[in-house]
Amino acid sequence: MTITKLVNATLALAVLAVGMLALSYQPAGAHGERAQEPFLRMRSVQWYDLKWSPETVAVNETMKVSGKFRFSPETHWPQTLAKPEVAFLNISHPGPVFVRKASFINGINGANSTRFKLGADYEFEITLRGREPGTWHVHTMINVLDGGAIVGPGKWVTVTGSRADFTNPVTTLTGETVDLEFYGLANNLLWHGIWLAIAAVWTVYWLAGRLFFSRHRMVAAGRGDELIRPFDRILSFAMLGIAIGLTIFGYVWANNKWPITLPLQSARESIVPLPDETNKVQVTLERATYRVPGRSMTMNLKITNTSNTPVRLGEFATATVRFINPVVGTMDDTTASYPNDLLAEEGLTVDNNTPIAPGETRVVQVTAQDAAWETERLSSLIFDPDSRFGGLLFFYGADGKRQISDVGGVLVPIFI
């Protein structure tokens, strides 16, 4: 077989393989949040009290994603992750299947980036409008400058109806009502078409009938100037004039048609955190281990109750996974609607569940055990150069109130 036939056969096989892959593709069902490093999910942002309401909406109907989040304190925050000096509360779903209509952080408009404080709590609400029918995985997310996206819990929500019925009307500052779904589309297509046509003429002119190898030989022989003909120079100046003229014309025309415009706003919002209530129950981590065969993490905790009511440990939350102590249960209304794959309803065991009295200090052993350590790829934390974890402990008092404390530190693996 000649080299030419071998090359042709290889190219044919490559094209066939690519074609078979294209025919067998499947759309992505989620966002690969499990691929994020465990330390990033466990030691950056902890989400709680989340709601997706309602979980089924029709096209043009709205749903709200709400809840709270806490940034890990300075002692737990990963050194390799940029601090949230400039960050943006976002939502993540597979493409433009929703339209984001509004967002608020502690009651303040969240359209701009803001600075978040480490160790502080924030309450949020995001309003989405259904656009594309289907069942979609909707995540909370925070984008941190120089740190990337920190993805929160995701839940499957359903959009019903017809895509053709979607509209997105807004009223401008001048009182005009427009549909953002199609507003400016014709003008956008027109100008793209003009510039693509100019580019096509320019490309075809310089490539048609001009063989690369023969021109390369002339350049190598020092005869490159002979390749540029007089008409080439005339056409080049003409194309330059057309490009400049179109740019000036477009600028003048746009100013006349839209005399009132506002630039995109780039200011940064200043948002005060929620009141600090983290000092009611003091927690000190004495030792934490992860037993690989049992998929369980054990923490020895020294707990001091400085509140005025007895408390019991009811939940440990980390990396969007909630480990619930069934002896205590939960006192919020979000557990039933929380994603099942992220909820270990009987995953937390405490060796002493008797209430910790006000002023009492007690050392307890807490075990968080569930298959989620593997399915969420959190167990790979033990192979990180910095094998440290972080999370939140939820204590419930006899008076019905909840206290939240941070916990984190070195995690020692046990392989037997």
- The b/e string for 131-147 (b: 16+ C-beta within 10 A; e otherwise) is bbbeebbbbbbbbbeeb
What is the assigned CATH class of domain 185-257? Answer: mainly alpha
The two structure tokens encoding residue 155: 């839940």
> Which of 16-20, 275-279, 281-285 shows the lowest mean pLDDT across its residues?
16-20
> Which CATH class for the 281-414 domain?
mainly beta
**Cβ atoms of residues 28 and 134 within 8 Å:** no
Per-residue pLDDT at 264 exceeds 90: no
DSSP assigned state of 114: B
Q: Which of 191, 179, 171 is nearest to 254 (CA)?
A: 191
- What's the pLDDT score for residue 25? 46
Instruction: Judge whether 33-173 and 281-414 match in fold.
Output: no
The strands making up 87-92's β-sheet, listed across from edge to edge, are 56-58, 148-160, 134-144, 87-92
pLDDT of amino acid 243: 95
Whether the CB-CB separation of 92 and 139 falls below 8 Å is answered with yes
Q: What's the fold here for domain 33-173?
A: Jelly Rolls (2.60.120)
Residue range 245-268: mean pLDDT, rounded: 90
Q: In a 3-state reduction of DSSP, which class is residue 204? A: helix
Closest-CA residue to 71 (of 371, 360, 276, 222): 276
HSE of 164 in the Cβ direction (CA atoms, 13 Å)? 0
Judge contact between 295 and 369, C-beta under 8 A.
yes
DSSP string, 280-303: SEEEEEEEEEEETTTTEEEEEEEE
Domain residue spans of the chain: 33-173, 185-257, 281-414
Please tell me the distance from the alpha carbon of residue 254 to that of residue 129, in angstroms, as a whole number: 30
Question: Residue 105 belongs to what H/E stretch?
Answer: strand 98-105
Q: Which residues contact 277 (CB under 8 A, 6 or more apart)?
A: 403, 404
The residue-averaged pLDDT of 267-287 equals 86
Cα four-point dihedral sign 116, 121, 127, 131: positive
Percent of the chain whose pLDDT exceeds 90: 66
pLDDT, tens only, 213-228 = 888 888 888 888 888 8
pTM listed for this prediction: 0.83
Using one digit for the tens of pLDDT, what is the confidence trace for 54-104? Answer: 999 999 999 999 999 999 999 999 988 999 999 999 999 998 999 999 999
